[in-house]
Structure 1
Amino acid sequence: MGARTLIVTNDFPPRPGGIQAFVHGLACRLPPDSVVVYAPRWKGCEGFDARQPYEVVRHPTTLMLPTRAVAARAAALVDDGATVVFGAAAPLGLLAPALRAAGAARVVMLTHGHEASWARLPVAGALLGRIGAGADAVTYLGDYTCRRLAPVVPEAKLVRLAPGVDTAVFRPGTGRDEVRRALALGDRPVVVCVSRLVPRKGQDMLIRAWPLVLRRVPDAVLLLVGGGPSRAALERAVSRLGLRGSVVFTGSVPWAALPAHYAAGDVFAMPCRTRLGGLDVEGLGIVYLEASATGLPVVAGSSGGAPDAVRHGETGLVVDGRSSGDIAHALAGLLADPARARAMGERGRAWVEREWNWESVAARFAGLL
């Protein structure tokens, strides 16, 4: 066996999230004996790791920083002549020189939304430039993140690598009836949002827009799938607006159950918005592509690279995530016109199958290695 590829990442299942799914998807498409993953511990990781066909080495804590201890543990996993992949360039990419000294021949760094934010700040941007200097290739998700990275990372190193979607897993109708029965949704029109409950994702704006949606579609339900620190505030907002009968929280759900929760909806919405002066921004939004693969029209916020995952007017609508009126208009319009919504979903499914399939992504990734 030749030198293995070492993936060093803070973002890996069973911790939920889009970056985690992306890095896991890449690892799963390498030959099992050619890869080892070094990642933090997370609740349930023992069972998850046992199901993987490749080796997963867990750090003792739930977060890895570019310290000497982490460098030493990672260096011990580097085969001579290996390629090292950082699941997110910042901050662990600072370990690149130590891993080259341990025998790594090539370093590939993935970037996401937070690196695009780092590039805007003088000190963080300089640090990101230092990280990029230690790489042979730095990936970006789309046009937005590329523009942000270009001032601090040499253009010759920048390579597009966006997530893929498993269209056999995310497909129309899968598990729809079971989830609707379990949540007592019946045949009511459903807008579903699958995402972590944090301000940037826009669940608060969905709730604020919901009374406007109900004026046009009185029996509609808003289904919020996911957990997160904003849940208590969101539930208070639901009570304050008298929406308890039309907003459903599921909390966190297992990965395997996510496709069915998408399919339970008629429209997908995550009206993300940029916050903190541009520092809290959406890098892409894999959830839009998963929803499209499930055959749903999507309503996306205009934050960062989110519009790269939607064809406005074809697979969904891009709205101002800060405007409850814009959000309500888009949602009510799609719910009130099922034929239009269905056509958008069908176009979205075809687009994902054609341009966001994992086979193409895996081939690009293999080329980088």
Structure 2
Amino acid sequence: VLRFSGAAGGPLKLRSALQHIEVVLAPLLACARPRARRPNLLVCVQPLFAGLGGLLAGRLFRIPYVVLVHGEELALLHDDRLLFGLRRRLQARVLAGAAAVVCNSRNTLLLASKLYGIPDTRLQLIYPSIPTAERASLGDTLAGLDSSARVILMAGRLDERHKGFDTAIEALPAIVRAMPEARLVIAGPGDPAALIERARELGVADRVLFTGVIERSALNALFERCELFVLPGREVDGAAEGFGIVFLEAARAGKPVVAGRTGGAPEAVIDGETGLLVDGRSPAAVAEAVLRLLGDRALAQRLGRCGRDRVRREFDGRRQHREFDRLIQTLVGHTPLTREGQ
């Protein structure tokens, strides 16, 4: 079994175009080996462009391929009109030709079925997993932040509007009025200019810290340092959080989560048990949930403890590895494809 990624940068950059070509060619080159050395199955971690390589290899060499989907790409490209919808049509063909489409949440599975017509017999639900422990080293990431600050953490790509960075900033005035020591720390790549300007307009610019891109160990330390994690996702132009591994990372650190009630987030965060689900479009709802957790340490600790126990029990990789191994053995052995529990 060979696994191919498809990560690359923006669609108009030469480097990105070369990466796309390389990713498409990689499975073809692997399958062009002598028959005894060819893989029996290709695993493509994205429909585009890794899955396109799998589709071509499957057509030329009759080798089956599996595609992993994460939710956002299904909705974003479904209404894509660039180049007459070329990417949308390519993605649809990749998904239609796959021996199995592995979805990271039930919400993603429903999108694949509804938007692309993938039959249930080829849809597989396998939740993500994370390491149960990772190195944490904060360094000077929070330099200048008072040690008494009550840190509310967010993390993700700033250009992904559905994650709700703007909603959290709009909720901040109400939060700091009730809890003056509260500080919002936002970690992740992207241009923060628009968010900084909005915080300035609301008079809370001095209560927000943007770390930019940081090392994994520093992000782990931020999860340890914060009191709660917030990502009030909502649907924007059809896109929503596919699942939200960051919710698991917060839970691993024993921290409660405030998440938007949309996409796959309700599968990552159990409302009232590991966190609080809110309307991600409402700054008032976000502020209310954050203040509830900051004001009730016993509740916050209970939710954090339950979240950590759930990660260790359900998302440590053992179940996921077992389910994926079963899928691979099924496809390679040509036995009927069923979901676990059926």
* TM-score, with structure 2 as normaliser: 0.82
**Offset, 1:82:** 3.3
Tell me what 2:312 maps to. 353
Cα separation, 2, equivalents of 1:197 and 1:203: 7
8 Å Cα contact 2:230/2:259 also seen in 1: yes
Tell me what 1:18 maps to. none
**Offset, 1:232:** 0.6
Alignment equivalent of 2:4, drawn from 8, 16, 27: 8
Cα separation, 1, equivalents of 2:234 and 2:280: 5
8 Å Cα contact 1:80/1:103 also seen in 2: no
Tell me what 1:255 maps to. 216
**Offset, 1:90:** 3.8
**Offset, 1:192:** 0.4
**Offset, 1:331:** 0.5
Q: Secondary structure at the match of 1:77?
A: helix
Judging changes above 3 Å, is the alpha-carbon distance between structure 1 residues 156 and 119 closer, same or farther for their aligned structure 2 residues? farther
Judging changes above 3 Å, is the alpha-carbon distance between structure 1 residues 81 and 6 closer, same or farther for their aligned structure 2 residues? closer
Identity of aligned residues (%): 32
Structure 2 residue ranges without an equivalent (≥5): 32-36, 329-342
2:129 counterpart of 1:159: no
8 Å Cα contact 1:180/1:264 also seen in 2: no
Alignment equivalent of 1:362, drawn from 304, 308, 321: 321
**Offset, 1:245:** 2.6
Alignment equivalent of 2:148, drawn from 187, 190, 197: 187
Cα separation, 2, equivalents of 1:72 and 1:227: 29
Cα separation, 2, equivalents of 1:75 and 1:125: 22
Cα separation, 1, equivalents of 2:303 and 2:17: 40
Tell me what 2:64 maps to. 106
Q: Secondary structure at the match of 2:203?
A: coil
2:191 counterpart of 1:197: no
Alignment equivalent of 2:106, drawn from 143, 152, 161: 143
Cα separation, 1, equivalents of 2:25 and 2:209: 46
Residue identity in the other structure for 1:61: R
Tell me what 2:335 maps to. none
Alignment equivalent of 1:302, drawn from 261, 264, 267: 261
Cα separation, 2, equivalents of 1:265 and 1:307: 22
8 Å Cα contact 1:7/1:84 also seen in 2: yes
Judging changes above 3 Å, is the alpha-carbon distance between structure 1 residues 225 and 147 closer, same or farther for their aligned structure 2 residues? same
**Offset, 1:102:** 5.5
Q: Secondary structure at the match of 2:6?
A: coil
Tell me what 1:333 maps to. 292
Residue identity in the other structure for 2:231: M
8 Å Cα contact 1:10/1:64 also seen in 2: no
Q: Secondary structure at the match of 2:15?
A: coil
The structure in which a higher percent of residues are helix is 2
Cα separation, 1, equivalents of 2:212 and 2:76: 31
Tell me what 1:49 maps to. none
Cα separation, 2, equivalents of 1:7 and 1:354: 27
8 Å Cα contact 2:168/2:232 also seen in 1: yes
Q: Secondary structure at the match of 1:218?
A: coil
Tell me what 2:338 maps to. none
Structure 1 residue ranges without an equivalent (≥5): 12-39, 43-59
**Offset, 1:104:** 6.2
Cα separation, 2, equivalents of 1:224 and 1:308: 23
Cα separation, 1, equivalents of 2:72 and 2:154: 22
**Offset, 1:132:** 2.3
Judging changes above 3 Å, is the alpha-carbon distance between structure 1 residues 97 and 143 closer, same or farther for their aligned structure 2 residues? closer
Judging changes above 3 Å, is the alpha-carbon distance between structure 1 residues 66 and 184 closer, same or farther for their aligned structure 2 residues? closer
2:183 counterpart of 1:221: yes
Cα separation, 2, equivalents of 1:183 and 1:363: 46
8 Å Cα contact 1:84/1:104 also seen in 2: no
Range 248-257 or range 319-328, more displaced = 248-257
Judging changes above 3 Å, is the alpha-carbon distance between structure 1 residues 138 and 61 closer, same or farther for their aligned structure 2 residues? same
Q: Secondary structure at the match of 1:10?
A: coil
Alignment equivalent of 2:15, drawn from 61, 65, 68: 61
Aligned residues: 312
Cα separation, 2, equivalents of 1:95 and 1:243: 48
* TM-score, with structure 1 as normaliser: 0.77
**Offset, 1:105:** 3.0
Cα separation, 2, equivalents of 1:268 and 1:361: 25
Cα separation, 2, equivalents of 1:365 and 1:259: 27
Tell me what 2:171 maps to. 209
Q: Secondary structure at the match of 1:150?
A: helix
8 Å Cα contact 2:23/2:50 also seen in 1: no
Range 72-81 or range 116-125, more displaced = 116-125
Residue identity in the other structure for 1:144: N
Tell me what 2:334 maps to. none
8 Å Cα contact 2:64/2:99 also seen in 1: yes
Q: Secondary structure at the match of 1:62?
A: helix
